[in-house]
Amino acid sequence: MNTQERWHASMQNNYGVPAITLSKGEGITVWDEDGKKYLDFLGGIATNILGHAHPAIVKAVSKQIEELSHVSNLYGHKPGVELAEKLRSFTGDPTARVFFCNSGAEANEAAIKISRLTGRVQIVAALGGFHGRTAGALSITGQEAKRKPFEPLLPKVKFVPYGDIKAMKRTISKRTSMVILEPIQGENGVVVPPDGYLEEVRELCDKKGALLAIDAVQTGMGRTGEWFGYELEGITPDIITLAKGLGGGLPLGAMITLGKKVPAFKPGEHGSTFGGNPISCAAANAAVDFIVKKDLLEKVAISGEFLKAQLSKIPGVTSVRGQGLLLGIVLESNVANDVAMKAQQNGLLINAPAKNVIRIAPALIVDKKELREFVEIFDRTLNEVLNG
Ligand SMILES: Cc1ncc(COP(=O)(O)O)c(C=O)c1O
């Protein structure tokens, strides 16, 4: 049996059977088990923030696993404290407090639980939004097809069209504990809200005494050219959730509370065995330090602008949306799946979150030569799909 057949025979079918099996990675290049090379412009879906096998992460993780791997949450450890301090400094808010977990869904579960401590129950979330697959995170995910087979889920969740401030105004009330929104809806096809939307939602939350949670799981850790993806909007949320890029490729999530309005967990109210373990935190510290040292946030913004300009010129592309290195290439027709498949054959990894949208989320270390190579393969691939 080949690896696909073995996968099919032994794994749950929730992901289907992957068409290729990867065996090695370096920077933004990966190889499959047959030695075929790919340019990885999906980055583990916005996760491998410094690419594959980055020397800074390899060194930090190797050192940490030799010294101390797991301590449980009964004991403290320095990599965790150091990372929490760094995240706190990126928020610019000395009241910021961090809870570490392993994933984006868990970070949002923590946000849901902490919002319950306000004494209110109702949550307002956006249609098309994605917050994870666990029962709580799924309850606030605005994609009916994903929720339906598992209902009943959490009660008192209301969904509003993303970017529609009037609908938000009609829905948010004095019973609302929390509004949760992505700064850019990644899984929904890299959908960007109108300018000023988050600012107006912030005002509404303040008026009704509701918390504002920003799910920066996909947009965070420098992907948009800012740390958390909401800063350009000029708002301060009450809660930020993070995962994906945070661990530099290792499993790590975080929920950060800001300001005085958010209740605080008391000892015993929440926890996670592996959450914020020393090895994932060591990887995250290394990734964050590298981003700061190399001024990657600025480079991400420049790379994003370069890609937008180049990709917009390609026949068959209607527009390019998103920010920094989280971009949605909107196609004139519903051929995104065919394009992603053809790209794979052509040695390029990208995906299709919507019928007419290709998403790219390469590592933040991607250089100009790799950006040009990507544009060349993408252009050729789209042309092959559209013109046979
Ligand atoms: C915005 C957002 N929130 C939450 C999640 C869930 O993260 P995880 O798969 O780590 O549970 C995702 C994953 O795609 C996401 O994009």
Local mean pLDDT, 10-residue blocks, the chain (388 residues): 95 95 98 98 97 98 98 96 98 97 98 98 98 98 98 98 98 98 98 97 98 98 96 94 98 97 97 98 98 98 98 98 98 98 98 98 98 98 96
Q: Catalytic annotation on 261? A: no
Q: What pLDDT was estimated at residue 232?
A: 85
Which numbered atom of ligand 1 lies nearest the CA of 134? 11
CATH code for the structural domain at 3-53+295-387: 3.90.1150.10
Residue of 133, 218, 274 to test ligand 1 pocket, by largest number of atoms within 8 Å of CB: 218
Tell me the Cα Rg of the chain: 21
Q: Which parts of 97-175 are beta strand (E)?
A: 97-101, 122-126, 157-160
Q: Which amino acid is at 335?
A: V
Q: What pLDDT was estimated at residue 320?
A: 98
Which numbered atom of ligand 1 lies nearest the CA of 129? 1
* Ligand 1 pocket residue status of 365, Cβ below 6 Å: no
The residues with which 29 forms a beta bridge, in sequence order, are 26, 39
Q: What pLDDT was estimated at residue 388?
A: 84
Q: What pLDDT was estimated at residue 311?
A: 98
Residue of 41, 215, 238, 290 with catalytic role? 215
Q: Which amino acid is at 385?
A: V
CA of 215 to the centre of ligand 1 (A): 9
CA of 2 to the centre of ligand 1 (A): 31
Residue of 130, 159, 290, 374 with catalytic role? 130
CA of 214 to the centre of ligand 1 (A): 12
Which numbered atom of ligand 1 lies nearest the CA of 104? 7
CA of 284 to the centre of ligand 1 (A): 17
Query: Ligand 1: which residue has its CA nearest to atom 3?
Result: 131
Compute, in degrees rounded to 10, the torsion defined by CA atoms 121, 148, 183, 179. -10
CA of 60 to the centre of ligand 1 (A): 25
Residue of 15, 138, 187, 214 to test ligand 1 pocket, by largest number of atoms within 8 Å of CB: 187
* Ligand 1 pocket residue status of 186, Cβ below 6 Å: yes
Alpha-carbon torsion (117, 122, 127, 128), positive or negative: positive
| Every domain of the chain and the residues it spans | 3-53+295-387, 56-293
Q: Catalytic annotation on 207? A: no
- With a CB cutoff of 8 Å and minimum separation 6, the contacts of 184 are 190, 191, 192, 193, 218, 219, 224, 229, 322, 323, 326
* Ligand 1 pocket residue status of 105, Cβ below 6 Å: yes
Sheet of strand 326-331, all strands in order from the earlier edge strand to the far edge = 317-323, 326-331, 357-360, 351-354
Q: And the tokens for 323?
A: 């920010």
Tell me which fold the domain 56-293 belongs to.
Aspartate Aminotransferase; domain 2 (3.40.640)
The residues with which 52 forms a beta bridge, in sequence order, are 27
CA pair distance 210, 262, nearest whole angstrom: 9
Residue of 217, 219, 272, 274 to test ligand 1 pocket, by largest number of atoms within 8 Å of CB: 217
Other C-beta atoms lying within 10 Å of the C-beta of residue 274? 16
CA of 124 to the centre of ligand 1 (A): 18
CA of 132 to the centre of ligand 1 (A): 5
Q: Catalytic annotation on 215? A: yes
Which numbered atom of ligand 1 lies nearest the CA of 45? 14
Cα angle at 136 between 130 and 139, to 5 degrees?
55
Residue of 244, 290, 342, 378 with catalytic role? 244
Using DSSP, state whether 367 is helix, strand or coil: coil
